[in-house]
Structure formats: structure tokens, C-alpha cells
């Protein structure tokens, strides 16, 4: 990047400049490949400019929220950069969500506009009931050139909705500075350049899946989008499109390992990255055996801080169960309940500080204060201005500084690489009209990571078959229970709360009694 560009970014660190700069440096380079359709950086910039102009015409001002409900595509990428260019705050909505989840996000964030398409609206089981203006990308035509509006690093750029341990999804709020820091850190240690071709297999609404787009656009690399869930088709695309960097979550890695063609080396592949959960050690061994020429980066991250740790590929064979060390520019602390630092191999909570730590949760001051707290290691008497993120994850650090994931403090379920709130699942079950009482838990599952298990008491005349159909209609796949166990009544604790552990024990006893 030129000195002029560096000065311009210092004065106006709007993250949309990554697209503007890359396109101006090579407009004919291929930005995105979607099967037989390619989009150049020049075309992507033209589309983003048109989106920005259209949003301004619809009254979007700096700081307004724009929900983007589009299939993972060049249109979705243009919608994101166009939103940032006009000063808006982008919300990438998972394309598998149903009407109720989209309505919650739009309402909670007070979205001004929902950018979507006729095709996406047709997929919904019912029309959206929102106050936001629904704008179709089909109706956005070419417009005159523009440059991103002036922003400062602390201005909000994006809200990513993710389920917490209780209640409905919460919006993690990232600043322009967070995006710059996170993208640069990952690009540096994975060594992404304009020569790379990055696979896009994960949703843009997922910070890890979205990071493939950010890193590609910043470096001028090519993003190869594959939407098929079939492992054999994914492997065929990796080979045909000469993908060099492959990012997956554990359930997807396990699926790819079942594809016979994945056991044969992919010559162009130079890097594999994982986050969203721990890959089983035997699967790590297979990945190294099947693609020995490709470096494997085992990573850990939380939406609340973009990315936290990575294990250097040179250490993977000897420490396949480690999540590594802090990413460049960040610090990871392992702390006790009182905030003091743990000794080597002592289990404590992972706390992260640094430029990727997000601003907090949108419209959730109490939750923000609970998770984003003062640095427990700040010098006595120093100003209390920095906030670190308490992850809720328990880890340990070995004598050489490598970190190992132990478990979570709360009840959040990781299903198909996505964090799911048991309470949100239970809420949808109740709305079916088939359920009188419900509690939701999970059990280990080799493919899903965790399989969601629902324990219910049906209403009079309630039907499990109708309940299952309701779940398929009203929930994305990662939220749908794998099993629904029916009880005559749900056990309770001494304080009157539902007792999940007792319900699980009762089911195990019932299955044992039937010989199942």
C-alpha cells in the first residue's frame, strides 16, 4: 500500500477502504468465484458503491444498522462493504434463519434497512413482520463512484449475533479498529497474499467464515464460494479451483475426512485452519496424513474478541490437543476467580486483552459489564479505561506457554460449529403449541460436536411428529434437536427449577430397562 494510502487510512480508518484500495490496485483480479460465475474486484467495488448510494437514498445515516439477509455471495460481500462505506453498521444475518430469528435481530438492533433478495424472502415460511425497510438487491442499479465516508477506529462497523448461555442471540459489536486488527493478525500468521485462493464454506454471519472474505479482500486474494454440504462436492471444488487456504470447523473436518478423494493430496493446498471447537486428536492425525504438505493451524477464538490463539503448525504433530498461544498483538491471561494469574497446568478462565477485543454487546449493558471488565492485572493506581474480555472458557497453560481448552462455565451448546442457547431452543419448542414443559441439553456427537437433546412434556393431544415438523420450519439446522424425549413430568430441583441432569438420568434408566 502506498504512503498516500497509509496516510488516508490513518485519517479515515473506515474498513471499507480495504475493498477500495484493492480494486484500485487491480480491478481485473478475480475477487469471488461462485461455481461458473466470477466477480472481479472492479465489479465488486462497483456493486458496493451502488449499495452505498442506495442506502443513503433510503435514509441510512452513519451509525444506522443494516441487516444483510443474503446468500453467501458477491452480492452479500458488496452489501457489507457498501454498508460500511456509507457509515452504516452491518449485520450479516445467517441465511438459514427463519422469520422469527430475523425479526428478533432486526428489532433488537433497531435495523433501519434489511437488504435481501426475492429468492431469500421466498425461502421463509412466512413474511417478515418488521419495522425496518426491506430493500431488494435486484432493485439496486449501477451508480456513480464514491469513496468511504470518514470514520474513526472506535466507530462501530458490525454487529454479529451469537447465542449466549441464556436467552435469545446477543449482538457482539465490533469497531472498525477491531476489524483492522483481527484481519491483519490472521493474515500475518497464515501468510495470506494476493496469490492465494481461499475456500468459503462457512456462513458470513459466523465471524470465522466472514474472516475468509475480509482476508481475501484486504490482500487481493480470490474467495472461492462452495455452498454444497456434500463432502465429495466440496473436495471436488477444492481440487478444481486450486484452493490454497481451507478453513473449517470440527464437524466439517470430520465430514471431509469421510470423502475418499480427500485422502489424496490436494497439490495447491498450503494451509488448513480450524476454530469453533476442538478437532479430535485422531482427526488431526488424519488431516496431517492426508495433506502432509499443507500447514495445519489449530486456532481458538470467541466472537467477543475476533480471534484469540493459534498453534504454530510446527508444533501440531507433538501437541495436537493444544490451541496454541495468543495471536499477534494480543495477550491471553489464565486467571482464578479472584483475578490472579494461574500457575502452569492450573485450570482457570481465559481472559483476553488487545485490539481485537470487541466493544461489547449491543443494547445489553448488564451483559457487557459482566463479560467486558477491567484488566485484573493493571498496575495499581492506573486509569481504569481498558476493558478485557472474560471468555467463560476454562483452559490451562503448560510450562512452555501453550494453552489447552478444558470446557465452558455456562451451558451454551456448540452444534455444527455454532453456539446455541438451550433456552432459545426451549422457547421455540414452547411456541409450537405441542409442548407444556421443555428443557434442553446436549450429548457428544462425532459429526455435530454436540447433539441437541430436548426433554418435553406434551400438551394434551400434543404430537411429537408435529413438533418435529415445527422445528424444521422454525429453526435452522444447527438449532434443531437431534432427539426429543417425552416425559410425563419433568423433574425439579429443591428450588423448583427444572433438573436437566435428573431428566437425562431418567431417560438413560428407561433406555437401559428396555434394552435399547
Strands (E) in 265-417, as ranges, are 271-274, 295-300, 309-311, 325-326, 331-335, 348-353, 360-361, 372-374, 387-397, 403-408, 413-415
Instruction: Give the residue among 198, 201, 244 at the shortest CA–CA distance from 220.
Output: 198
- 10 membership: H or E segment, kind and range: helix 3-11
Per DSSP, the three-state class of 451 is: strand
pLDDT tens string, the chain, 516 residues long: the values are 444 455 566 667 999 999 999 999 999 999 999 988 999 999 999 999 999 999 999 999 999 999 999 999 999 999 999 999 999 999 999 998 999 999 999 999 999 999 999 999 999 999 999 999 999 999 999 888 899 999 999 999 999 998 654 457 899 999 999 999 999 999 999 999 999 999 999 999 999 999 999 999 999 999 999 999 899 999 999 999 999 999 998 888 988 998 999 999 999 999 999 988 778 888 899 999 999 999 999 999 999 998 999 999 999 999 999 999 999 999 999 999 999 999 999 999 999 999 999 999 999 999 999 999 999 999 989 998 899 999 998 899 999 999 998 877 777 788 988 878 787 888 889 889 899 888 899 998 888 889 999 999 998 899 999 999 999 999 999 999 999 999 998 887 644 467 888 888 888 777 666 655
What pLDDT was estimated at residue 1?
Answer: 41
Domain that includes residue 460, residue range: 413-514
Give the β-pairing of 222-225 and 197-200.
parallel
Report if residue 459 sits inside a domain: yes
Question: How many residues in the chain?
Answer: 516
pLDDT value, residue 341: 97
Rg over CA atoms, the chain: 23
Distance CA 321, CA 403 (A): 9
In whole angstroms, give the CA distance from residue 513 to residue 501: 18
Evaluated on CA atoms 232, 235, 241, 247, the torsion sign reads positive
Number of domains in the chain: 1
Is 114 within the bounds of a domain? no
Secondary structure, 3-state, 153-171: CCCEEEEEEECCCCCCCEE
| Cα–Cα distance measured from residue 516 to residue 506, given in angstroms and rounded to the nearest whole number | 14
CATH number for the domain harbouring residue 442: 3.30.300.30
Residue 173's pLDDT is 98
DSSP state of 29: S
- Other C-beta atoms within 10 Å of 59: how many? 10
Other C-beta atoms closer than 10 Å to the C-beta of 460 total 5
- How confident is the model at residue 166, as a pLDDT? 45
Residue 68 lies in a domain: no
Domain-located, residue 490: yes
Q: Return the H-helix or E-strand segment holding 452.
A: strand 449-458
Examine residue 140 and state whether it is found in any structural domain, yes or no. Answer: no
> Based on the number of CB atoms within 10 Å of its own CB, is 289 exposed (0-12), middle (13-18) or buried (19 or more)?
exposed
Contact predicate 32/22, CB 8 Å:
no
Q: How far apart are CA 422 and CA 406, in angstroms?
A: 21
For residue 349, the SS3 value is strand
Cell of 142: 449501477
8 Å CB contact between 409 and 392: yes
What's the CA gap between 52 and 327, in Å, rounded? 33
Specify burial of residue 269 (Cβ count, 10 A radius: 0-12, 13-18, 19+).
buried
Distance, in Å, from the CA atom of 19 to the CA atom of 33, rounded to the nearest integer, reads: 16
164 in a structural domain: no
Residue 439 lies in a domain: yes
Question: What distances in angstroms separate CA 103 from CA 4, 90, 301, 305, 506, one per listed residue?
Answer: 43, 16, 28, 26, 37
Helices H, strands E: what count in the chain? 15, 26
> What pLDDT score does 7 carry?
55
237 Cβ contact list (under 8 Å, min separation 6)? 199, 224, 226, 228, 243
Number of neighbours of residue 489 by Cβ within 10 angstroms: 9
Looking at residue 507, its pLDDT comes to: 84
- The reply to whether 390 falls in a domain is no
Amino acid at each position: 500500500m502506498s504512503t498516500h494510502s497509509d496516510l488516508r487510512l490513518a485519517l479515515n480508518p473506515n474498513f471499507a477502504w480495504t475493498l477500495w484500495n484493492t480494486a484500485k490496485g487491480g480491478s481485473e483480479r478475480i475477487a469471488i468465484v461462485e461455481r461458473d460465475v466470477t466477480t472481479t474486484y472492479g465489479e465488486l467495488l462497483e456493486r458496493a458503491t451502488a449499495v452505498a448510494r442506495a442506502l443513503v437514498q433510503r435514509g441510512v445515516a452513519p451509525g444506522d444498522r443494516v441487516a444483510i439477509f443474503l446468500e453467501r455471495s458477491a452480492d452479500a460481500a458488496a452489501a457489507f462493504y457498501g454498508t460500511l462505506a456509507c457509515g452504516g453498521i452491518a449485520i450479516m444475518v445467517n441465511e438459514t434463519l427463519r422469520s422469527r430469528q430475523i425479526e428478533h435481530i432486526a428489532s433488537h438492533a433497531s435495523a433501519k434497512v434489511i437488504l435481501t433478495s426475492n429468492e431469500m424472502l421466498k425461502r421463509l415460511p412466512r413474511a417478515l413482520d418488521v419495522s425496518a425497510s426491506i430493500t431488494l438487491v435486484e432493485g439496486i442499479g449501477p451508480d456513480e463512484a464514491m469513496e468511504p465516508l470518514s470514520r474513526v477506529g472506535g466507530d462501530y462497523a458490525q454487529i454479529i449475533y451469537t447465542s449466549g448461555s441464556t436467552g435469545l442471540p446477543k449482538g457482539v459489536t465490533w469497531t472498525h479498529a477491531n476489524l483492522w486488527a483481527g484481519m491483519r493478525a490472521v493474515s500475518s500468521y497464515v501468510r495470506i497474499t494476493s496469490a492465494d485462493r481461499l475456500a468459503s464454506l462457512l456462513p458470513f454471519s459466523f465471524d470465522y467464515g466472514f474472516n475468509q472474505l475480509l482476508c481475501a479482500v484486504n490482500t487481493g486474494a480470490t474467495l472461492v464460494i462452495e455452498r454444497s454440504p456434500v463432502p465429495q462436492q466440496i473436495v471436488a471444488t477444492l481440487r478444481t479451483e486450486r484452493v490454497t487456504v481451507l478453513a473449517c470447523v470440527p464437524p466439517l473436518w470430520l465430514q471431509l475426512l469421510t470423502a475418499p478423494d480427500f485422502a489424496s493430496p490436494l497439490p495447491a493446498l498450503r494451509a488448513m485452519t480450524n476454530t469453533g471447537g476442538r478437532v479430535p486428536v485422531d482427526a488431526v492425525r488424519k488431516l496431517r496424513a492426508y495433506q502432509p504438505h499443507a500447514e495445519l493451524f489449530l486456532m481458538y477464538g470467541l466472537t467477543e474478541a475476533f480471534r484469540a490463539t493459534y498453534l504454530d503448525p510446527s508444533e501440531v504433530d507433538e501437541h495436537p490437543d493444544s490451541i496454541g498461544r495468543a495471536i499477534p498483538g494480543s495477550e491471553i491471561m489464565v486467571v482464578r476467580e479472584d483475578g490472579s494469574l494461574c500457575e502452569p497446568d492450573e485450570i482457570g478462565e481465559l481472559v483476553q486483552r488487545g485490539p481485537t477485543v470487541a466493544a461489547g454487546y449491543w443494547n445489553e449493558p448488564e451483559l457487557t459489564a459482566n463479560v467486558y471488565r477491567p484488566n485484573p492485572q493493571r498496575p495499581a493506581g492506573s486509569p481504569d479505561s481498558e476493558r478485557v474480555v472474560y471468555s467463560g472458557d476454562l483452559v490451562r497453560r503448560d510450562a512452555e506457554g501453550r494453552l489447552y481448552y478444558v470446557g465452558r462455565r455456562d451451558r451454551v451448546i456448540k452444534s455444527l460449529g455454532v453456539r446455541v442457547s438451550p433456552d432459545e431452543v426451549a422457547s421455540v419448542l414452547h411456541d409450537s403449541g405441542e409442548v407444556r414443559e421443555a428443557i434442553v441439553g446436549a450429548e457428544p456427537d462425532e459429526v455435530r460436536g454436540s447433539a441437541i437433546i430436548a426433554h418435553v412434556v406434551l400438551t394434551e393431544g400434543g404430537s411429537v411428529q408435529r413438533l418435529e415438523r415445527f422445528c424444521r420450519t422454525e429453526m435452522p439446522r444447527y438449532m434443531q434437536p437431534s432427539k426429543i424425549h417425552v416425559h410425563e413430568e419433568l423433574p425439579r430441583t429443591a428450588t423448583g427449577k427444572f433438573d436437566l441432569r435428573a431428566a437425562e438420568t431418567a431417560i438413560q434408566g428407561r433406555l437401559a430397562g428396555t434394552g435399547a
